[in-house]
Amino acid sequence: MYADSGIQWIDLIYDWCVILLINAADQLGITYEEINVWLFVIVIPLVLIFLVITNFILFLKLRAYKYQNIDCA
């Protein structure tokens, strides 16, 4: 269960994250593998897609605002 990359701080963070996921899975009544799928295959990609779309929309709004202010000057 413990990481052995040879880099102590990476091993520490990895071990802490695995223990956190195991405990969260126990609390939710699911397995470690299931929580991994939910997080890394479903939740994180959906959040990333949402953030990319949000950034694109904000970029378009900012660009429109800049062009609107140029026309007024």
Domain ranges of the chain: 8-72
Give DSSP secondary structure letters for the chain. ----SS-HHHHHHHHHHHHHHHHHHHHHT--HHHHHHIIIIIIHHHHHHHHHHHHHHHHHHHHHHHHHHHHH-
Name the token pair of 46.
């959906």
pLDDT in tens, the chain (73 residues): 678 898 999 999 999 999 999 999 999 999 999 999 999 999 999 999 999 999 999 999 999 998 887 765 5
Residues with Cβ within 8 Å of residue 12, at least 6 apart in sequence: none
Q: Is the pTM of this model over 0.75?
A: no
